[in-house]
């Protein structure tokens, strides 16, 4: 069976046929770094890393672009609340995202473009749309005219234009020809970052950014566009509309991962149930966290509970235990053996990781039996298969990535993850919001991070048992 993927655009599982034989161009919507990554962001990172690994294991040369939306309404809001420059918010949080992905074993993208570095490409795209009659300038803003694309607008999200609400993406709705028109460019406002364009100073709209970056690095037509299911509308619908209206074929397959809830509820700061990576590191090692995040089917809704994480920890440790024992008896070998046919069939069936894991664990059981009976040839063969399968999932216990010998090895990464929380706490103390500062400190303590205020600033250390 060849690789088949569920395409949101056709709402069907389709055979994957790349634009160019042996090569794949893949774009995934990355972070809008207004805050540190939560468990939902991390799940998305792991999911597309598994896809990347399977594509490469299947023989494809993959160009993987994952963008950074480093200028956005949310970032500007947080910067204003904290009294710091907008770019400082974006940069600090983006570093935490990057180190979080690294900690969980995600391979680096081929290119990680930033929105702020691609304004010239955005200007060109807007000019193309205006020239074709699909966009218009109004009072310093530039809008996409959805009625000019009415026959196709809504196809990705399976909606009808007449049933859509106002875009609600600027305070200048009276400038629009239609309230459903969405902003390509937002005119400059006092105190906000701005770039010069033929239509006046301002900053880009979210949707425009991704179209410009995707086509710059992958071409006007490329293979796969990924992101969370929450991005289907309006973000991906608008990306598709503006790109096709400008004359680009754009993405040929649209993949969307399911969302993640916590104890059955949507994550929310107001509810206080946002799970961050430092929270998880108090309960599991990075490889175990990755196992948990990869274990459900990528399109499924995933509900985080401490019990579910504990089950994943036990499951990974069973794999780890066999690999460690077998390597001591028969030698480690390499992780580049062929994967078993049932594993490959599961992965080719829309990345069926749950079924692939079933094959992995069955092979572990067979390997343990071979070790117990002294059949070293069988144990060696099972070890090679287990490592090959685990390598596809980024979970090979013998990978240098997972050679964690103690909490101190994690300090540089945890330091980055905690830094943003400490900055927020310091900002709260500076504005004399001591209740907020104490809440942040208590949250860090619950995650196993002890904070001490000193004359030289706050310092932290991991809680010791």
Question: If you write DSSP's letter for every residue of 380-393 in order, what string do you get?
Answer: HHHHHHHHHHHHHT
Q: Answer yes or no: do 393 and 414 share one domain.
A: no
Q: Are 447 and 439 in contact (CB under 8 A)?
A: no
Q: Is 426 helix (H, G, I), strand (E, B) or coil?
A: helix
Q: Which stretch of 23-37, 46-60, 127-141, 170-184 has the lowest confidence by average pLDDT? A: 170-184
* Same structural domain, 225 and 285: no
User: Using one digit for the tens of pLDDT, what is the confidence trace for 406-465?
Assistant: 444 555 666 666 776 777 777 778 888 888 788 887 777 776 777 777 655 676 666 644
Q: How many domains does the chain have?
A: 3
Residues 311 and 334 in one domain: yes
Q: What integer pLDDT is reported at residue 405 of this predicted model?
A: 43
Taking the mean position of all CA atoms in its chain, how far away is CA 258?
Answer: 12
Confidence of residue 200 (pLDDT cuts 50, 70, 90): very high
Same domain (yes/no): 456, 366: no
Same domain, 248 and 331: no
Report the range of poorest mean pLDDT among 14-23, 157-166, 368-377, 451-460: 451-460
Q: Are residues 74 and 171 in the same domain?
A: yes
Residues 365 and 424 in one domain: no
Q: How far is CA 264 from CA 101, 261, 288, 303, in A?
A: 25, 6, 22, 6
Q: What is the pLDDT of residue 459?
A: 64
- Tell me the three state secondary structure of residue 182: strand
Confidence (pLDDT) at 465: 47
- Contact yes or no for 105/120 (Cβ under 8 A): no
How many whole angstroms separate alpha carbon 156 and alpha carbon 161? 12
Q: How many other β-carbons are positioned within 10 Å of the β-carbon of residue 454?
A: 7
Q: Looking at 258, 286, 320, which one is the last position of a domain?
A: 258
DSSP 11: T
State whether 335 and 430 are in the same domain: no
| CA dist 299 → 107, 226, 238, 464 (Å) | 21, 11, 22, 38
Q: CA angle, corner 265, sides to 445 and 287, nearest 5?
A: 55
pLDDT in tens, 34-88: 999 999 999 999 999 999 999 999 999 999 999 999 999 999 999 999 999 999 9
395 & 419 share domain: no
Q: Residues near 457 by Cβ (< 8 Å), separated by ≥ 6?
A: 426
Beta sheet of 182-187, edge-to-edge order: 135-138, 141-144, 182-187, 202-204
- The confidence score (pLDDT) of residue 417 equals 65
Examine the pLDDT at 325 and tell me if it is beyond 60.
yes
pLDDT tens per residue, range 16-26? 999 999 999 99
Domain boundary among 258, 276, 308: 258
Verify that 240 and 280 share a domain, yes or no.
no
Q: Which domain holds residue 456?
A: 408-462
Q: Report whether pLDDT(350) > 90.
A: yes
Q: Is the per-residue pLDDT at 179 higher than 80?
A: yes
What CATH number does residue 118 fall under?
A: 3.40.50.620
DSSP 34: S
Least confident of 17-21, 246-250, 331-335: 331-335
On average, the pLDDT of the chain sits at: 92
When mean pLDDT is compared across 63-72, 159-168, 208-217, the lowest value belongs to 159-168
Half-sphere exposure of 279 (CA within 13 A, CB side): 19
Q: Answer yes or no: do 172 and 53 share one domain.
A: yes
C-alpha dist (Å) from residue 384 to 1, 14, 87, 113, 319: 23, 31, 47, 37, 13
d(CA 154, CA 164): 9
Query: Which of 288, 410, 402 has its CA nearest to residue 335?
Result: 402
Q: What is the pLDDT of residue 422?
A: 77
Q: Which long-range contacts (CB under 8 A, 24 or more apart) does 370-379 make?
A: 371/322, 371/325, 371/326, 371/329, 376/329, 376/330, 379/326, 379/329, 379/330
- pTM equals 0.87
Tell me: pLDDT of 314 over 90. Answer: yes
From residue 22, alpha-carbon distances to 25, 54, 60, 249, 349 in Å are: 11, 13, 5, 20, 19
As a whole number of angstroms, the distance between CA 287 and CA 269 comes to: 27
Q: How far is CA 91 from the centre of its chain?
A: 17
Phi, psi for 184 (deg, rounded to 5)? -90, -35
Domain boundary among 363, 382, 404: 404
Answer yes or no: are the C-beta atoms of 255 and 51 closer than 8 Å. Answer: yes
Check which CATH number belongs to the domain holding 356 and give it.
1.10.730
Q: Are residues 241 and 340 in the same domain?
A: no
**Contact call for residues 382 and 365 (beta carbons, < 8 A):** no
How large a percentage of the chain has pLDDT more than 90? 79
Cis ω on the peptide bond leading into residue 234 (within 30° of 0)? yes
Q: What is the dihedral of CA 14, 16, 20, 22, to 10 degrees?
A: -170
């Amino acid at each position: 069976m060849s690789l088949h993927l569920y395409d949101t655009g056709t709402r069907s599982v389709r055979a994957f046929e790349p634009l160019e034989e042996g090569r794949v161009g893949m774009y995934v919507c990355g972070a809008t770094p207004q805050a540190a990554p939560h468990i939902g962001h991390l799940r998305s990172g792991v999911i597309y890393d598994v896809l990347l690994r399977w594509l490469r294991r299947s023989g494809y040369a993959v160009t993987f672009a994952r963008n950074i939306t480093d200028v956005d309404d949310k970032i500007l809001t947080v910067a204003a609340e904290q009294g710091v420059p907008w770019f400082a918010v974006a940069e600090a949080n983006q570093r935490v995202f990057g180190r979080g992905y690294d900690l969980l074993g995600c391979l680096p993208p081929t290119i990680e473009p930033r929105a702020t570095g691609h304004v010239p490409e955005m200007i060109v795209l807007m000019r193309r749309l205006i020239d074709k009659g699909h966009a218009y300038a109004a009072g310093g803003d530039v809008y996409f005219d959805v009625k000019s694309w009415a026959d196709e607008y809504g196809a990705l999200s399976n909606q009808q234009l007449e049933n859509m609400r106002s875009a609600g993406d600027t305070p200048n709705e009276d400038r629009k020809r239609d309230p459903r028109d969405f902003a390509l460019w937002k005119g400059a406002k006092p105190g906000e970052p701005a770039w010069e364009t033929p239509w006046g100073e301002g900053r880009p709209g979210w949707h425009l950014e991704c179209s410009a970056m995707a086509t710059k690095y992958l071409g006007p037509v490329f293979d796969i566009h990924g992101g969370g299911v929450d991005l289907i509308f309006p973000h991906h619908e608008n990306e598709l509309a503006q790109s096709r209206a400008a004359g680009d074929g754009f993405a040929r397959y649209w993949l969307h991962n399911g969302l993640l809830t916590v104890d059955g509820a949507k994550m929310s700061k107001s509810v206080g149930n946002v799970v961050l990576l430092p929270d998880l590191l108090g309960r599991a090692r990075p490889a175990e966290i990755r196992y948990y995040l990869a274990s459900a089917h990528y399109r499924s809704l995933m509900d985080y509970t401490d019990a579910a994480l504990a089950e994943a920890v036990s499951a990974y440790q069973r794999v780890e235990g066999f690999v460690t024992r077998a390597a001591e008896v028969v030698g480690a070998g390499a992780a580049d053996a062929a994967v078993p046919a049932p594993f490959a069939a599961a992965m080719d069936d829309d990345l069926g990781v749950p079924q692939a894991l079933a094959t992995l664990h069955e092979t572990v059981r067979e390997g343990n039996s071979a070790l117990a009976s002294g059949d070293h040839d069988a144990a060696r063969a099972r070890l090679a298969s287990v490592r090959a399968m685990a390598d596809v999932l980024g979970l090979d216990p013998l990978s240098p990535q997972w050679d964690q010998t103690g909490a101190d090895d994690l300090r540089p990464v945890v330091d980055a993850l905690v830094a943003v929380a400490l900055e927020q706490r310091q900002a709260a103390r500076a504005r004399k919001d001591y209740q907020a500062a104490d809440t942040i400190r208590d949250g860090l303590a619950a995650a196993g991070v002890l904070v001490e205020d000193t004359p030289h600033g706050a310092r932290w250390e991991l809680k010791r048992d």
